[in-house]
Amino acid sequence: MNIPVYLYAWISLDTSRTPPVLGWGSGSWQAVERPTTKAANLACDAAQALMAGVASTLRDGSGLFIGTTTGSLHDDIIFDNSRTTDGGQYPSPNAFRRTLPSTIATELTMDLGLHGPVVVYAAGAASAVVACVRGVEYIRRGMVPLAIVGGIEVWNEALPGGVAPAHVSADAATTAQPQVSPERCQLVLVCIGPAELPGAQRPMGEFTQARLGGSNIHSPTSVDCSLQTLVNFLVAGQGQLVVDGAVGIQAWLELQRR
């Protein structure tokens, strides 16, 4: 089976910026309106917008293929604090429930009612693009009728690249943007599917190539800079994206505008 795979819509968010929505690939969207601050909630809002109008029969079996480098580190720190304060008497079960790299992906399944395959990938600086390539492959082989692919990173002031809450909200304070999160969250979510997608808008482009390659494992992993290169690629709306994940993987995506 070799089903053609199309790009239907995408959303990119970075809560350290004002406004946080960097790009929106289909129609209009009122950013994130609810006064939520959690990265998972922002991801759910974004995914809901991507799936708006998609027939429920398709949505139900949709796949979710998400890349992440930092995984649940932000939530690991929260749980670790709960278990190491007060003599370790009160480790928080609610905090522990969030300490898996797959946590946000599974919250997306709950929020959107997705019952299809979920796979979370880590491949250094190629994580998000690896997730996209694998998602395209799962559709191409007829394994899922539709997929949300992309990458999600949640930062913490303790991490390089993370921004302390005071700094995150500096711009927001002057413009009173309630959607700016104390967790710095970067995400790119992309809706992909085959040609016939009842309820969806016209596709923006076709993935003419999506493949993984290998290389020598050669250097320490860097964080997932593929989120930004993926955004640039989606904004361009066509062309080729090649990322090197520094864990022995290269990922290629080629998009042709429709």
Partner 1 sequence: MPNSDHAMEIVTSAAVTPEFASINALWNTWQTGHQAQHHATSPPSAANWHHLVASVLQQTLGHVRDAPHCALILATAKGNIANIEEWMANLRQGKNAGQLPELMSDSLNIVGRKFGLGGPCYVVSTACTSGLTALIEARELIASGVVSEVIVVAADTITGFTRDGFKSLKALTQITCRPFDKNRDGLALGSAAAACLLRRFDPGTPPQRTVSVIGWGIAADAMHRTAPDRAAGGLIRAIRSALSMARLEPQSIDAVVLHGTGTRYNDQMEATAMRELFSHRPALSGLKGLIGHTLGAAGLIETLLAGQCLTTGIVPPMVGLQLTEYPDLNLVMQPGPARPIKHLLKTASGFGGLNAAVILAHTVPP
Q: Site residues for partner 1, window 103-162 (CB under 8 A)?
A: 103, 105-107, 109-110, 112-124, 126-127, 130, 134, 137-138, 140-143, 158-160
Q: Is 205 in the site for partner 1 (CB under 8 A)?
A: no
Closest residue by Cα to residue 144 from 168, 116, 121: 116
Which is nearer to partner 1, 19 or 61 (by Cβ)?
61
Q: How far apart are CA 106 and CA 37, in angstroms?
A: 18
CB of 123 to partner 1, least distance (A): 4
Q: How far apart are CA 92 and CA 75, in angstroms?
A: 11
Q: Is 165 in the site for partner 1 (CB under 8 A)?
A: no
Q: How far apart are CA 202 and CA 218, in angstroms?
A: 42
Q: Are 18 and 168 in contact (CB under 8 A)?
A: no
Which is nearer to partner 1, 14 or 75 (by Cβ)?
75
- From 18, 221, 228, 238, residue interacting with partner 1 (rule: CB under 8 A): 221
Which is nearer to partner 1, 35 or 220 (by Cβ)?
220
CB of 28 to partner 1, least distance (A): 28
Which is nearer to partner 1, 101 or 193 (by Cβ)?
101
Q: Is 183 in the site for partner 1 (CB under 8 A)?
A: no
- Asked if residue 182 has a cis previous peptide bond (ω within 30° of 0), the answer is no
Q: How far apart are CA 156 and CA 162, in angstroms?
A: 5
Site for partner 1 in 37-66 (CB under 8 A): 64
Q: Is 73 in the site for partner 1 (CB under 8 A)?
A: yes
C-alpha separations of 145 from 3, 12, 41, 112, 157 in Å: 10, 23, 25, 15, 39
Q: Is 71 in the site for partner 1 (CB under 8 A)?
A: yes
